[in-house]
Amino acid sequence: MARPRLSADQKRFRRDVWLNNGEWSAVIAHAKEAGLPTRTYCRRVLLRKHIRPIPELNREAWGELARLAANINQLAHHANASGELGQLVELQAVARQVAALRLQLIGADTDDEAEDDRED
């Protein structure tokens, strides 16, 4: 089944920007420092949205929470396979809370994250 058509305000267009190697390297370095994909960093800069660097402590917590989220997903898979629906619902709720906490740690705007998912 085909994807539904986007409205005029939802359509996205590619725009080219000419940069030399030094300028592009600086953009990549700033995006990495901010903990953002390069395309998201560029979009935020162009739209003058606030960009805050991610503290190192938050980067470490992000990684630890990623491992926790993986463990929760394994438990949820087991609960689903064994038919323990009560535990499955609880685990899914915890997984959503962990995902939200991870986004808060990096100061992510969930609307920007959704935009990036549609871009790829």
User: pTM value?
Assistant: 0.45
Residue 24 inside a domain? The answer is yes
Long-range interactions of 100-104: CB distance < 8 A, separation 24+: 101/65, 102/62, 102/65, 102/66, 102/69
CB atoms within 10 A of CB 110: 11
Per the structure, the count of domains in the chain is: 2
Q: Does 11 reside within a domain? A: no
Please check whether residues 102 and 67 belong to one and the same domain: yes
Does some domain include residue 83? yes
| Host domain of residue 82 | 55-107
Digit-by-digit pLDDT tens for the chain (120 residues) are 677 888 888 888 888 999 999 999 999 999 988 878 899 899 889 988 877 766 666 767 877 888 888 888 888 888 888 887 777 778 888 888 888 887 777 666 555 444 443 343
Q: Is residue 116 part of a domain?
A: no
CA quadruple 46, 47, 53, 54: dihedral sign: negative
